Chains A and B, each alone.
Chain A
Amino acid sequence: MASFSTTATVTDPRVALGDDGILPPALAGGSGDRPDSGLPDYATRLRRARLGLLVALTPVLMLFVSFTSAYVVRQGLPSLDPRTATLVRDWIPVTLPKLLLINTGVLVLSSVFMELARRQIRGEAVFASADSIPGVPPASESRIPWLPMTLVLGIIFLFGQWMAWRQLAASGFYVATTPSSSFVYLLTGTHAVHLLGGVLALLGAGVASLLGLSLTRRSIVVDVTAWYWHFMAGLWVYILCLLEFAS
């Protein structure tokens, strides 16, 4: 149908690409973030990972928004008592174990440690290349093991949640005892599963460190996990408030 060769635009892509064809053209959304090696640089990878995390947190948020709306609806919902054909409300608030407050403290503290760990490894990554410049002393890094400490606190939190479940069960509130108890187990359990994911990510970063794997990659993992961790801490505080005050 056409009267000219359709392969012309591709056999010499550089001409079609509109540049002089001597150097590889700059890549990506205007930020010129690919040096000659063709690999995206640290800043780009970090930005991309953070963007990915922001996007990933959206469905996590939607999950808990959905649970919240189910919680609110269920609380206020009258149901038909078939015997009297009248509507009755059957919401019995659960007395939350005090242990949950301690766990909250643990998690918040772990968030602080997490942030320190994040800054620590970012400092290491940024200055890594500076070690080889003569006359420039290596940055004095704090040697406090913030990351392992965060990990330990995270595991303590999860263990503490498990203990809180045991206490709930001991006081007679199992998952199906009342609608309110169902939600307690549901919300705390789902949160714990997500936090476990964060724990595993930190574990991975820790192991990678021991094995001496790529610092920039570890730094990005820790950075992204840190933001995720802070989100989980904030989410936990929200869940606690919902269960305690909106009851």
Chain B
Amino acid sequence: MGLVLLAVIWLITFISTYFFIAKTWWLPVGASAAAAGIDHHFTTTFILMGIVFVAAQVALGYLVWSFRDRGNPAKVSYSHGNTTLEIVWTVLTTILFVGLNLTSSSIWASERFRPAAADSVQVEVTGMQFAWYFRYPGPDGKFGATNPELEDASAGGEAALGLDTKDPASKDDVVSGVMVVPVNREIEVILRAHDVIHSFFIPQMRFKQDAVPGLAIHMHFTPIQTGEYEILCAELCGLGHYKMHGIVRVVTPEEFDKWLAAREAEKL
């Protein structure tokens, strides 16, 4: 039985580890400036934790086989423990865990402790059951007022957001069902929600943030690769949660200006 346990434990360990190392199912390729740092830290954590995982399971399997009762009257090693050993592995574990966390803190700080750059591109992202809307402030740089009483989701676009067209700042606001952003520019995202908590998740940008009703949450990221990326809702928001997704198109700055100008023109 000891040998069977060893074999099964080792087999499970090696198979699971194989799929991790082979990256059979892995993080999608990063497309934001933060991705490299985050992925690097992921790899560090993965290697260190992987070593602990394999070592612990291999040890467990080996011990249950090696110290099986073989029937001979050999004595056990009667002992209540070893305080020195306890202290040593407690200290080492603490250093590992806390150290790992502290090394990641600089990335966290750079992503979250500072506000967006002054010249970032602003996009207000609003989540509602079950769609995402994106609003650009336009040349005046100001977002117009919205009024919940004016909301009409069936009409889409500005009406879905309840845009108050009487507010002068609303005149140049562009509302879109698709998020378009220029590459290599910092994008400031202002997250809002109309009804329940949603979460704005772009896997390739390593970006996730809950959109909470009653709050306007400011976040930022910098896309570094053009293309189309999936946006998924990552907080249970009702029966349509699984199909509340959107697209973010990362384009060249020229294409972005053209797109925005075209949308502005449509409004006139």
Contacts and interface: CB of A to CB of B under 8 A. Distances in A.
Does B bind A?
yes
A85 B214 contact: no
Nearest to B147: A83
Interface in A79-121: 79-80, 82-85
Interface of B: 69, 143, 145-148, 162, 164, 192, 214-216
A80 B145 contact: no
Nearest to A3: B73
B215 A82 contact: no
Nearest to A84: B145
- The prevalent SS among residues of A at the interface is loop
Contact of B143 (A1, A79, A80, A85): A85
Contacts of A83: 145-148, 164
Contacts of A80: 192, 214-216
Given A82-B146, A83-B145, A83-B148, 18 more contacts: A1-B69, A79-B214, A80-B192, A80-B214, A80-B215, A80-B216, A82-B147, A82-B148, A82-B162, A82-B192, A83-B146, A83-B147, A83-B164, A84-B145, A85-B143, A85-B145, A85-B146, A85-B216
A218 B215 CA distance: 56
- The prevalent SS among residues of B at the interface is loop
A143 B146 CA distance: 73
Interface of A: 1, 79-80, 82-85
Contacts of A84: 145
A85 B142 CA distance: 11
Contacts, number: 21
Nearest to B73: A3
10 contacts: A79-B214, A80-B192, A80-B215, A82-B146, A82-B147, A82-B148, A82-B192, A83-B145, A83-B164, A84-B145
B218 to A, nearest CB: 12
Contacts of A82: 146-148, 162, 192
Chain A to chain B: the 3 pairs with minimum beta-carbon distance, closest first: A79-B214, A83-B147, A82-B148
B259 to A, nearest CB: 25
Contacts of B214: 79-80
A83 B166 CA distance: 12
A79 B193 CA distance: 13
Nearest to B162: A82
B30 to A, nearest CB: 32
A80 B215 CA distance: 5
Contacts of B148: 82-83
A168 to B, nearest CB: 27
Contacts of B216: 80, 85
A84 B146 CA distance: 7
A186 to B, nearest CB: 20
A2 to B, nearest CB: 11
A46 B143 CA distance: 69
A3 B192 CA distance: 73
B160 to A, nearest CB: 13
B93 to A, nearest CB: 31
A91 to B, nearest CB: 15
A128 B148 CA distance: 73
A83 B148 CA distance: 7
Nearest to A85: B216
A66 B40 CA distance: 41
Nearest to B151: A82
B75 to A, nearest CB: 15
A205 B24 CA distance: 71
A158 B61 CA distance: 65
A198 B221 CA distance: 58
B224 to A, nearest CB: 30
Contacts of B69: 1
Contacts of A1: 69
A236 B145 CA distance: 45
A99 B69 CA distance: 77
Contacts of B143: 85
Contacts of A85: 143, 145-146, 216
A85 B164 CA distance: 12
Nearest to B143: A85
A238 B69 CA distance: 63
A79 B212 CA distance: 11
A82 B128 CA distance: 14
Contacts of B215: 80
A82 B213 CA distance: 9
